[in-house]
Structure 1
Amino acid sequence: MTFAWDQSELNDEQSGAVRTENSVLLIACPGSGKTRTLTYKIAYELSRLQNKRQFIVALTYTHRAADEIHDRIEGLGVDTSQLWIGTIHSFCLEWILKPYGIYEPALAHGFRIIDSHEQEKILEELCRTQPGITYWDCEYYFTEQGYVLACRDQSKHRRLHAIFELYFRHLANNRQIDFELMLFYSSRLIQSQPQIARVLANIFPWILIDEYQDTRRIQYSIVAAIVRAGTERTKLFVVGDPNQAIFGSLGGFAMPVAELRQLCSVQLEERALSENYRSTDRLIRYFSNFTVHPTNIHGAASYRTFPSSITYNTNLDRDQLEAELVRLIRLSTDQGVPADQICVVAPWWILLAGVTRRLAGALPEYQFDGPGMVPFSRDQENFWYRLSRIALTEASPTLYVRRCRWATEVIRDLGNEGIDTRELSAARLLRESNSILLDQPDGLQYLREYFAMLMARLGIDWQSHAMLSGHHQAFFDSSAAKIERLRREGAPYIGGIDFFRKVFQHRSGITVNTIHGVKGAEFDVVIAFGLLQGMVPHFSEEAEVDGGSHSAKKLLYVVGSRARKHLYLISECQRMRGGGRGPYAATDVLAECIFDYDVV
């Protein structure tokens, strides 16, 4: 039966995008129901599948987004057995590298994916061979032609290339690949072995891409090869907002529609979602000052006329910042705003780490949530990380469907390792997991004991399997290193099991995150600081033709469009630049914006 909905669920723009038979590029303004539209499109196309061997593929920027969309589709009552949803890296691993890696000489004798902790250790060691280079200079990404250094300091490039020559040699000698090489080898395979794209095109009638403005050229090329091979039988549904393309330093960009049409050899219909159901009219008017791509945005929230407070403080000294953040948080809670609807945001995590701990000390009645407070490795492709999701969540009805899906992924990983899983179902794995009762206050030790007990109950000798053993060591080594670092920085409680359990819980406290980290989220109140030239935009982008103006506008657009009701902006004084260059100034683009700010 074809999935259907009524007028109360989707507006006309959303319904039109879902029902179209054509490939679509959908430009979605903030708060326009992008995720809902994408969810309904997936559900609609799943319900219309005629072939049991076909899959609808949806590529998301994060695993969290994939889980959210998957849950929503199942909540609509649509069978998801023919849905594949995840990140482009997971897609490449599952559909290209594992089945076809034998055709790539570098992968033909097997390979292991290293996690971010292993990569950091290798690069830190290699950085010692080149004076003046640190691990933080070593960000890079791949194009089809080869790797590109993200470091904007050209004077470091010769030394960085020397490091990467050693790095890639080390990986090759050990049959290892990192996340960037996953994309590179997938691209090479799909170009050198045309049958791969033809096979996948027969399996995928629709490929959907979320947050397309963060997609890299090599990722576009991989998807385009499949779509081209489908010769209009494989359709494309691409969703995003060019005004939020803030991952340019890592190669992400919003490909123009004409270029995307040509690359994919497909008729691509342009559509838009223009109704904002999130923010008040006053907030929309404000963040529209920072658009770089022409966009029509119409307020559609039930509270659109709410009198939003929008402030901009340029007179606050650095040493007064924490006190001001505490004041704004208390002001918000006194106005009835729940703690989980407050977000404190800054351009760099290094600005937030110490502030978060001091806020937690000043506001002990509130919990603080943020990626820098996660106490263990979050490498999504690590087997034990996948299993930790089950270990650290409750056996509750609200989480049952998601935990079943996680259990299915774990069983699939075991099967891929050559373990006989014919007698192992998701229900049994969860039943065995739920029966494990441990009185262990230390988070890492809890997971060690849990993993050992569960594997014993399932009759799996995991230590005799190279992938499981390698992932186990990587998970615990990287987690121990992270906990030690957080403890040194003043978070002694970080290793407790209670803190571990919070990682997979729904957001319950005040969110603390970077601008990049909050993209896609929304809050009643957003408080942003560190809005300084050299941070917004990043100092490396100030050398661009426009002085980094476009980059700064996109970051400010993201900040402003996260807020439903109130927005508090701070460009603090006396935050000092390195090298004795004096204090940072306020972000130029923000300082030049004329607006009737409030005083609170």
Structure 2
Amino acid sequence: MFVWDKGDLNPAQEAAIEQPESVFLIACPGSGKTRTLTYKIARMLSGLRSEKKRVVAITYTHRAADEIHERIEQLGVDTSQLWIGTIHAFCLEWILKPYGIYHPALQHGFRVINAHDTERMHEQLCAQVRGMKLASFDCGYYFRANGYVLTCPKTEKHTAVGTVLKSYWQTLHENRQLDFELILYYAYQLIQSHPSIAVLLGSIFSCVLVDEFQDTREIQYAILSAILRAGNGEATAFIVGDPNQAIYGSLGGYAISAAEFGQRCGLTFKEMELSDNYRSSSRIAAYFSSYSVFPSKIEAVGKEKDFSSLVSYDSSTHRDALEAELVKLIRYNVEVVGIAQREICIVAPWWAHLASMTRRLALALPGYAFDGPGMVPFARDIDNFWYKLSRIILTEASPQLYIRRMRWAGEVIAGLGDAGIEVAEVDRKSLLRACNSISVSEIDGLTFLRVFFDRLFAILRIDWRGNPSLSEHYEAFFECSQRRIDKLVKEGSLAIAEIDMFRRVFAGRRGITISSIHGVKGAEFDAVIAYGLLEGMVPNFNDAEQVQTAKKLLYVICSRARKNLHLISERGRSRGWSGDYQPTQVLLRCSFDYDTAPS
């Protein structure tokens, strides 16, 4: 049985990990949630007594899955009986691929398209609509168990959007394609129409762990609860999250209660809590706690707890002077406080604001590095075979990344096998050796990858071009990437097509992060600078729960910071005929002794 050293965990973390029954764990920001999950998975894996059993962990992002997987391996625990990934990846691997033959839309095979393919198709279909101006972002939707929900806030567009989506789904069906939403919907339909699938999975899974439960949708709860219920108590569940960070309500996410989820899956949950914050100073923890929607006790106990944090709020800077104000705050935190560039994050509610600001800041601060929108030359399409291979090619061959690259190599080999390629003579080490032996001098990123792919498969003596699946993935990968690069170049991104920019996709943080509020969730930084904190943006003016959503968004923003926090509600952003945007009211009503922003 896996054991840990004294001092690795606090009593609350130990109690959650050692609890033999199902656990519903509320974990405040910076409470060591990832460590707790990691040790819980390690404990469950080490306790397996059958080679047929599996531990399954559902994470919100692929990055989180990679981080937890690597931490477990570094603890010396065998992960051969662990499956970890997003809910979409879970549904693909455990439901659609093995049982798709039983669904009429999947029985002849399928390919998953990425968000950029979806956007392109939506744009083409929207252009055909007469009498109403529609854009791709109007066509967002998600499935519930009883049908789909449109995310477009303008109800007068719903009829037209519904027509576009029906054409879109018909096109996908004709081309045997799925988008991310259909992955969930078809998985749910298979689970419901063939209960034996849930029974089989319920007998295989020893424990199902769910991270960030507050961002989970109703249809996802339905899939997981059906499997757990079919297990007849043989599988336990470990559900972790923070309802105060439930900011995906507009996309269907919500924080289920322990009682409701227990009723759905036939389990009784032990409700537990992690309230020690190891991330932020006491001043910052006290500040973001004021935005809690659900009561929680949060106490700063980490090494930064006594840091003399600067918490400032600025509602006087005009939009025209915003860039200069951000430059000033960046310089202060780097040059005066001594914070590393990679430990600074600039946050705003909308990507449209961030893309242009990234380029402007890069010009204003030529000696600084930035990681933000407009700097990623190809989409993170985790189901595309060539994307999976690109991760290995574009990642440094170093001892620190060996475990990660070995795991990726295993996924590439599995992808070849799924496509019907004979892989008996290829193992993970030989694949990595072949990749490490290739040197390509091309500067253009897409040309570099094409040449690299050709040389690699020549070494492996594999002819993939006659394979329908790999060929289709190849064309999709390069076509989508070229469209993305063309768009970013048109918007003014510099050197986006060069191989150095491609390598940065899988590299760690090296510069100042620029991100949306939703994109920064789960991360942490020494200094956080947030702007665009305006009513109608935080929250969006169409949000049904204005006060609660505003509190949750501010809670997420502020809880990312360890040392310094700077909040800005700039003046001069026009709302057209209704005047300018005004500061977020929830923020204005917060009574706090703010510091003066550095001059």
If the TM-score is normalised by the length of the shorter chain, which range does it land in?
over 0.9
**Whole-angstrom distance in 2 between the partners of 1:211 and 1:284:** 20
User: Pairwise mapping of residues 416-435 of structure 1 onto structure 2 (< 5 A)?
Assistant: 416-435=418-437
Question: Secondary structure of 1:56's match?
Answer: strand
**Whole-angstrom distance in 2 between the partners of 1:172 and 1:498:** 38
For residues 413-436 of structure 1, the C-alpha deviation after alignment (integer angstroms, 9 at most, x for no partner) is: 110111111111000100111111
Contact 1:106 1:172 in 2 (8 A): yes
Contact 1:345 1:512 in 2 (8 A): yes
| Paired AA for residue 558 in structure 2 | G
TM superposition shift of 1:357: 0.7
**Whole-angstrom distance in 1 between the partners of 2:15 and 2:534:** 42
**Whole-angstrom distance in 1 between the partners of 2:123 and 2:300:** 49
Aligned partner of 1:228 in structure 2 is: 229
Selected match of 1:583 from 580, 585, 590? 580
Contact 1:576 1:584 in 2 (8 A): yes
Selected match of 2:391 from 375, 381, 389? 389
Aligned partner of 1:555 in structure 2 is: 553
Aligned partner of 2:57 in structure 1 is: 58
Contact 2:341 2:511 in 1 (8 A): yes
User: Pairwise mapping of residues 107-186 of structure 1 onto structure 2 (< 5 A)?
Assistant: 107-130=106-129, 131-186=132-187
**Whole-angstrom distance in 2 between the partners of 1:127 and 1:324:** 39
TM superposition shift of 1:372: 3.7
Question: Secondary structure of 1:446's match?
Answer: helix
Aligned partner of 2:522 in structure 1 is: 520
**Whole-angstrom distance in 2 between the partners of 1:568 and 1:516:** 18
Aligned partner of 1:459 in structure 2 is: 461
**Whole-angstrom distance in 2 between the partners of 1:284 and 1:574:** 31
TM-score (norm 1): 0.98
**Whole-angstrom distance in 1 between the partners of 2:469 and 2:541:** 41
Q: Would you say 1:211 and 2:250 are equivalent positions? A: no
Which 4+ runs in 1 deviate beyond 4 A?
none
Contact 2:304 2:562 in 1 (8 A): no
User: Pairwise mapping of residues 497-536 of structure 1 onto structure 2 (< 5 A)?
Assistant: 497-536=499-538
For residues 14-71 of structure 1, the C-alpha deviation after alignment (integer angstroms, 9 at most, x for no partner) is: 0111111111110000000000000000001001111111111000000000000011
For residues 228-267 of structure 1, the C-alpha deviation after alignment (integer angstroms, 9 at most, x for no partner) is: 0111111110000000001111101110111111111101
**Whole-angstrom distance in 2 between the partners of 1:498 and 1:373:** 11
**Whole-angstrom distance in 2 between the partners of 1:147 and 1:540:** 19
Aligned partner of 2:81 in structure 1 is: 82
User: Pairwise mapping of residues 309-348 of structure 1 onto structure 2 (< 5 A)?
Assistant: 309-334=310-335, 335-348=337-350
Q: Would you say 1:242 and 2:243 are equivalent positions? A: yes
Question: Secondary structure of 1:22's match?
Answer: coil
For residues 548-584 of structure 1, the C-alpha deviation after alignment (integer angstroms, 9 at most, x for no partner) is: 111111000000100001000000000112x433211
Q: Would you say 1:567 and 2:568 are equivalent positions? A: no
Contact 1:385 1:475 in 2 (8 A): yes
| Paired AA for residue 580 in structure 1 | W
Question: Secondary structure of 2:379's match?
Answer: coil
| Paired AA for residue 210 in structure 2 | I
**Whole-angstrom distance in 1 between the partners of 2:177 and 2:591:** 53
Equivalent pairs: percent with the same residue?
56
**Whole-angstrom distance in 1 between the partners of 2:550 and 2:452:** 46
Aligned partner of 2:443 in structure 1 is: 441
RMSD: 1.0
Contact 2:191 2:226 in 1 (8 A): yes
Question: Secondary structure of 1:190's match?
Answer: helix
**Whole-angstrom distance in 2 between the partners of 1:201 and 1:68:** 26
Question: Secondary structure of 2:24's match?
Answer: strand
TM superposition shift of 1:385: 0.8
Contact 2:355 2:373 in 1 (8 A): no
**Whole-angstrom distance in 1 between the partners of 2:231 and 2:374:** 43
| Paired AA for residue 264 in structure 1 | C
TM superposition shift of 1:113: 1.4
**Whole-angstrom distance in 1 between the partners of 2:461 and 2:579:** 63
Question: Secondary structure of 2:120's match?
Answer: helix
TM superposition shift of 1:149: 0.5
| Paired AA for residue 361 in structure 2 | L
**Whole-angstrom distance in 2 between the partners of 1:463 and 1:269:** 54
Contact 1:213 1:254 in 2 (8 A): yes
Aligned partner of 1:32 in structure 2 is: 31
**Whole-angstrom distance in 2 between the partners of 1:235 and 1:260:** 13
Contact 1:242 1:254 in 2 (8 A): yes
**Whole-angstrom distance in 2 between the partners of 1:107 and 1:597:** 57
**Whole-angstrom distance in 1 between the partners of 2:442 and 2:235:** 51
TM superposition shift of 1:7: 2.7
Question: Secondary structure of 2:409's match?
Answer: helix
| Paired AA for residue 560 in structure 2 | R
**Whole-angstrom distance in 2 between the partners of 1:240 and 1:409:** 28
TM superposition shift of 1:589: 0.6
**Whole-angstrom distance in 2 between the partners of 1:322 and 1:401:** 41
Contact 1:117 1:474 in 2 (8 A): no
| Paired AA for residue 293 in structure 1 | F
| Paired AA for residue 17 in structure 1 | A
**Whole-angstrom distance in 1 between the partners of 2:166 and 2:493:** 38
For residues 359-403 of structure 1, the C-alpha deviation after alignment (integer angstroms, 9 at most, x for no partner) is: 111111111012441111211111111111011011111111100
Question: Secondary structure of 2:505's match?
Answer: helix
Aligned residue-pair number: 594
TM superposition shift of 1:332: 0.4
Question: Secondary structure of 2:52's match?
Answer: coil
**Whole-angstrom distance in 1 between the partners of 2:374 and 2:43:** 38
User: Pairwise mapping of residues 291-302 of structure 1 onto structure 2 (< 5 A)?
Assistant: 291-302=292-303
Question: Secondary structure of 1:480's match?
Answer: helix
For residues 441-488 of structure 1, the C-alpha deviation after alignment (integer angstroms, 9 at most, x for no partner) is: 111110111112112221222221222111111111111111111112
**Whole-angstrom distance in 2 between the partners of 1:13 and 1:248:** 29
**Whole-angstrom distance in 2 between the partners of 1:303 and 1:460:** 54
- Structure 1 unaligned runs (5+)? none
**Whole-angstrom distance in 2 between the partners of 1:101 and 1:371:** 36
**Whole-angstrom distance in 2 between the partners of 1:235 and 1:574:** 53
**Whole-angstrom distance in 2 between the partners of 1:422 and 1:220:** 39
| Paired AA for residue 207 in structure 1 | V
TM-score (norm 2): 0.98
TM superposition shift of 1:197: 0.7
**Whole-angstrom distance in 2 between the partners of 1:444 and 1:576:** 40
Question: Secondary structure of 2:566's match?
Answer: strand
CA gap 1:205/1:374 in 2 versus in 1, 3 angstroms: same
Contact 2:228 2:265 in 1 (8 A): yes
- Structure 2 unaligned runs (5+)? none
**Whole-angstrom distance in 2 between the partners of 1:574 and 1:65:** 38
Contact 2:112 2:179 in 1 (8 A): yes
Contact 1:349 1:372 in 2 (8 A): no
TM superposition shift of 1:302: 2.1
Contact 2:355 2:372 in 1 (8 A): no
Question: Secondary structure of 2:438's match?
Answer: coil
Contact 1:57 1:204 in 2 (8 A): yes
**Whole-angstrom distance in 2 between the partners of 1:122 and 1:98:** 25
Contact 1:24 1:238 in 2 (8 A): yes
